[in-house]
Structure 1
Amino acid sequence: MEEATVEEDVDPEDLDVFYPTNEWQIVKSGQAIPAGLHVRLNLATGNNEAKIPDDESGKSGLKYWKQGSRKGMVNTDSKSFTAEELKRALKLMKQEGSVEIKEGHQEKVRKTFRPIEELMEDFEAMNVMIETDMEIINKLVGKFNSSSATLEEKIVALYDLEYYVHQVDNAQYLMSTGGLQLVINALNSTERLIQEHAAFVLGAALSSNPKVQIEAMEAGALQKLLVLLATDQPVAIKKKALFAFSSMLRHFPFAQQQFLKLGGLQVLGQLFQAKGMESLRIRVMTLLYDMIMEKKLVQEAQDNSAQHKEKSRQYDEVNLLPPMLEQNWCMLVPKLLPSTEHDTREKVLKTMNLMMSSCRDEYRSVQGLSSSLNMLRSEYEELAAEEQREGEQDGYFLGLLNSVHGIIKKLG
């Protein structure tokens, strides 16, 4: 067979091909072989081998090249097998008990492994079909707003929408397209499942998203959520409404001012004491604690910037503690102290400390409070000692122990 030199635009360093002869030769790992060769697994050595078929050595489209001491071959008539295709073909061969890949098997391999060009076309088509978050949000809002959609389809749309609006940009996009207003309006739905899932979507969109908080406030979301919390509703709806309510109020002093003006603290007090709503008490307490701490941290911050001064001015108008004292929260807060959750205890202890100067007499009258504090002191003494043995000199439990000590001392 006539040899051919490598063309100028082909770099032989890039060619990793198999140079066949009429004798069986080992196919090294990573080498590509052209179609038309006989291939076998040498059961004695475990090596993959190939050669030119005895009756086709003069008919193949194999083109040989040589440059110096390097030589190789390319197939001008058909595509080469990749190393991965060769492995899969050999596996197929062993499963069928044949040592050589017959022509029928070669055809089977060609049908099984699609050419890379076809795969790339499919990938390009798939990329065209990939939807952006905004496109998906549009579809979900459209489905939810469709008069022909079933209740189940609307619920599914809201459920999926909640996943997307956790992202700040997605929530703002929902707002810009009018979808947020649809969700807020759905809080008035006669379908309880719609109310529940709409509140869930709203809470996700509001979380740490000032632009959406302002828009929702202007759209009347705070009033609608207060109605859900104040009226007779299932626990599931109240839970989602409280989530959205908390997301609206956190880090938004103007909303906190309106919350107090609209009687929101009384609503939370009723919810805290309502029968069957015990699971929501910790959530209510956490919200009040967070609002108290927000104002405290802003007031204590050493920041002279104009932005901070404006924020501080807004928080100065949020006076949460005085109405809490008036509405008997001095007696309500300690009721959560027996909780088994350290985080809840921490919030209760710190809130009690904040209210101590005004609530001391009420605390002293709370039945069982003294014994609860003493039990917590014993528990946290052991946990703090364990922390110190592990090398934590200023650990979490030491902080809780100090809070308990502080309250016991002030009440004594």
Structure 2
Amino acid sequence: MSPWAGLLCTAAKVNLLVLLVAVVFSWSSLSDRVPEFALTKIEESDIKDDSGNEPVTEDDADPEDLEVFYPTHQWQTLRPGQAVPAGSHVRLNLQTGEREAKLPDSEDGHTGQGSRRKRLGKVDVDANSFTSQELKEALAKMKASEKAERKAQEEEVRKKFRPIEQLKEEFEKLNMKMETDYEIMVKLISKFNSSASTLDEKVAALYDLEYYVHQVDNAKDFLSMGGLRLMIEGLNSTEAALKEHAAFVLGAALSSNPKVQIEAIEGGALQKLLVILATEQPLAVRKKALFALSSMLRHFPYAQQQFLKLGGLQVLRSLFRQRGMETLHVRVVTLLYDLIMEKMLLEGSQHGEQMAEKLQQYRQVRLVPAVLEQDWCAVPPTLLAMPEHDTREKVLKLVGVLMAFCREHYRGDPALGTALGLLRSEYEELAAQEQREGDKDGYFGELLGSINTIIQELG
């Protein structure tokens, strides 16, 4: 071999040795790094945690634990359906195509030994590390607590209420029976008409009857069983309490019930009521008698005609001349206003054959001429001095409806002009206050409008 050939052989060997050393060094360097995306599959059996123990693998895990992922500080494969705790690091292994997760490293280099803990029921559970057994125990304690609380609530309900079976037994023992209104009224009338009943028992029976006869059908039944006749006879009682409550029941039965109204006027109730109002009677008795009279006259032109023939308007006018009857004055003014407006509204409305017949009946009621004849124009102005706003409202309404007939009388009454002036000043202030409070169409504004209208018509 030539010297040059030996030299070349030696150089080739040196180059091969250098290349081999470089490859080994490069491989060693790569094996010490943790790549961002793993290109090789790392066997789970080769991974150990910080304590040196092998983590639980999928094959060793309890089947109930597969739904919960237990992260460590080493990458582990995630099974489908497993939930990852918040804050865990997740990556995709490009070599295997599987998702992997692990616990995040703390900023200070520690591995989260002081992890946050939560309360589940009455058991402390680590938010990042818990077992299926711990969850079962916590759930069992929660169920036991809920069961105990529910049982306590049931016991509390049992203390407050009795079982339906017990109630049924008690009702059967009492032999309770639901009575109809008809049956109740029969018993009440019987008690009132019985000579064995005391005065208090009769008054109590009348008081209860008034409640039932407010209903139209009950009032008709009351008529058929003879109750109306007994109430009319009760108006003649020497006992003021019986007279008062008999008139009260009568007025309730008469309200908006034409059949009872006809039977009552044919039974002489109108005359008896006028006698009570015209004679010395307690104020309470007169109140109930006026209530019954008003119920009979409203929407019943025949009764209004008979009322005028019997001098009923004079009887009501006489109440204004008696002391102690002030509380009845407003009731009388209201009744008079209603009767006048009732006729005026019917005359101004369109009506068929039936209403034409009723209008003919109203035309026979000469109410306004009787009002002028008996000097009712002088009555309303004296009532405007009363302090109640409701009373003033009703008086102003009557003054307004009588204006067409009493204008000359009102113009010559200086007391009326003075009263209207004082009321206007008072209600201007009250209406202004309503408007400041946002009520543009308030009650006091309406009263002020009525006063201004009357003053304008008198001017």
| TM norm structure 1 | 0.70
State which drifts further: 354-363 or 184-193. Answer: 354-363
Which gives a bigger RCO, structure 1 or 2 (Cα 8 Å, sep 6+)?
1
Over residues 303-352 of structure 1, what are the superposed CA-to-partner deviations in whole Å (9 max), with x where a residue is unaligned?
23222222222222222111111111111121111223333222222322
Cα distance in 2 for residues equivalent to 1:398 and 1:89: 56
Equivalent residue, structure 2, for 1:292: 340
Superposition pairs of residues 6-405 of structure 1, within 5 angstroms: 46-48=145-147, 87-88=154-155, 116-123=164-171, 129-301=177-349, 303-389=350-436, 393-405=440-452
Cα distance in 1 for residues equivalent to 2:266 and 2:429: 51
State which drifts further: 402-411 or 235-244. Answer: 402-411
Residues 85 and 113, structure 1, Cα contact 8 Å, conserved in 2: no
| Residues 1:116 and 1:400: Cα distance change in structure 2 (over 3 Å) | closer
Equivalent residue, structure 2, for 1:14: none
State which drifts further: 151-160 or 218-227. Answer: 151-160
Residues 199 and 240, structure 1, Cα contact 8 Å, conserved in 2: yes
State which drifts further: 303-312 or 285-294. Answer: 303-312
Over residues 241-283 of structure 1, what are the superposed CA-to-partner deviations in whole Å (9 max), with x where a residue is unaligned?
1111111111111111111111000000001221111111111
Cα distance in 2 for residues equivalent to 1:366 and 1:84: 82
Q: Which amino acid aligns with 1:320?
A: L
Shift of 1:362: 2.7
Q: Which amino acid aligns with 1:88?
A: E
Larger Rg: 2
| Residues 1:389 and 1:311: Cα distance change in structure 2 (over 3 Å) | farther
CA RMSD, aligned part only? 3.0
| Residues 1:113 and 1:312: Cα distance change in structure 2 (over 3 Å) | closer
Cα distance in 2 for residues equivalent to 1:85 and 1:212: 60
Residues 286 and 344, structure 1, Cα contact 8 Å, conserved in 2: no
Cα distance in 2 for residues equivalent to 1:265 and 1:215: 22
| TM norm structure 2 | 0.63
Shift of 1:384: 3.4
Structure 1 runs not aligned, ≥5 long: 1-41, 50-82, 93-111
Over residues 117-170 of structure 1, what are the superposed CA-to-partner deviations in whole Å (9 max), with x where a residue is unaligned?
453354567785121111110000000111221222111111111121112221
Q: Which amino acid aligns with 2:177?
A: M
Residues 272 and 284, structure 1, Cα contact 8 Å, conserved in 2: no
| Residues 1:322 and 1:89: Cα distance change in structure 2 (over 3 Å) | closer
The secondary structure found in structure 2 opposite 1:129 is coil
| Residues 1:116 and 1:380: Cα distance change in structure 2 (over 3 Å) | closer
Cα distance in 1 for residues equivalent to 2:297 and 2:170: 49
Shift of 1:388: 4.4
Over residues 145-196 of structure 1, what are the superposed CA-to-partner deviations in whole Å (9 max), with x where a residue is unaligned?
1122122211111111112111222111111111111011110111111111
